[in-house]
Structure 1
Amino acid sequence: MDALDREILGVLRTDARISYRDLGVRVGLSANAAADRVRRMVRDGVIAGFTAIVDPAAESGTGLVVFIDLTLRLGVTNDAFEEAVVGLPGIEEAVHITGAYDYLVRARVANPAELDALLRTIKRETGAERTSTRIALRSATRGRHT
């Protein structure tokens, strides 16, 4: 990966939907050359995927975004936990982290009762021993506040 690849990644982080033509203009390449570099970075695993960031209010108009810090029970492997948790309804992301907790899980639930049910399921079915939950009050993304 060279400086031009890093520049392309910077543009894609801001606008992953940019056309190859516009990407090429931004970094000084032809559309074909920009596309080739992006495809190579996808093939090499540098770019793991493209994501749509959805405004929670626009998606359903209701619901809570929650962040669940959790530690795993002794003997539960990361692979087993990840496989179990990502299949649960409402789970949007599970991130292996450093610090006092093993994972940070982002989820969406309709109401506090659904959150309670989700936490019970996580503890029962994924090997989580301890959880600490925070509810998002609002979010800000690049160029936008909600």
Structure 2
Amino acid sequence: MVRQTRHQPAELDNIDRKILGALSEDSSRSYAELSEIANLSAPAVHDRVKRLKRDGVIKGTVAVLDGCKLGRTLLTFLVVDTSSYSATRELLKFAERPEVEELHTVAGDGCVLVKVRAIDTEALESFLMEIQSLEGVRAVRSYITLSTFIERGPAPIPAA
């Protein structure tokens, strides 16, 4: 069997999508529960989940935590403009920081988009100073979130 590349969509049928939808709602569901949803036996569901993991469709099983209840109430998106590719790559050192939830290279006005969830404005300011002190960082624009209406991963619907 040919393994999927990162950008090549996996071949999914409607049963796979039912399983993925159920797991995306609650990843702690048992194979027995999933088998009822998918109308398959539990061993058949287990085989499908194993394949979905092997093919990289399921990247991990995690608990979705509430940042505010963990004391990280200040959600901010940063657009970082760098002068070179090496400066952009230098930002990857922030990937291990607990306040960094996402880090993306982007097209447009900036080079890197960083989703940061800080404890307070002082912690955010300290984080911003670290980024701004990197050689090759030309500018950082901050967008502090006031309300979050939806925050989720991709839905297992057919690609258009």
TM normalised by structure 1 equals 0.79
Per-residue CA deviation, residues 27-86 of structure 1 (Å, 9 max, x unaligned), is 1111121121111111121211223221223222x531111122232132655432x121
Structure with greater strand share of residues:
1
Counterpart residue number, 2:45: 34
Alpha-carbon distance in 1 for matches of 2:41, 2:136:
50
Counterpart residue number, 1:115: 124
Alpha-carbon distance in 2 for matches of 1:71, 1:114:
21
- The residue type paired with residue 124 of structure 2 is L
RMSD: 2.4
Alpha-carbon distance in 1 for matches of 2:81, 2:100:
16
Per-residue CA deviation, residues 95-141 of structure 1 (Å, 9 max, x unaligned), is 23343323221112222222111011123248543221111223234
Match of 1:65 among 51, 69, 75: 75
- The residue type paired with residue 67 of structure 1 is F
Query: Contact 1:81 / 1:127 at 8 angstroms: preserved in 2?
Result: no
Alpha-carbon distance in 1 for matches of 2:16, 2:87:
35
TM-aligned CA distance change 1:77 to 1:114, over 3 Å: closer
Alpha-carbon distance in 1 for matches of 2:55, 2:139:
37
Counterpart residue number, 1:140: 149
Number of residues paired by the alignment? Answer: 140
Alpha-carbon distance in 1 for matches of 2:16, 2:86:
38
Structure with greater helix share of residues:
1
- Where structure 2 has 5 or more consecutive residues not aligned to the other structure, the ranges are 1-10, 152-160
Query: Contact 1:81 / 1:126 at 8 angstroms: preserved in 2?
Result: no
Segment of structure 1 superposing worse, 12-21 or 29-38: 12-21
Match of 1:24 among 16, 31, 35: 35
**1:35-50 residue pairs with structure 2 within 5 A?**
35-50=46-61
TM-aligned CA distance change 1:13 to 1:102, over 3 Å: farther
Identity between Structure 1 and Structure 2 (%): 29
- Where structure 1 has 5 or more consecutive residues not aligned to the other structure, the ranges are none
Query: Contact 2:94 / 2:100 at 8 angstroms: preserved in 1?
Result: yes
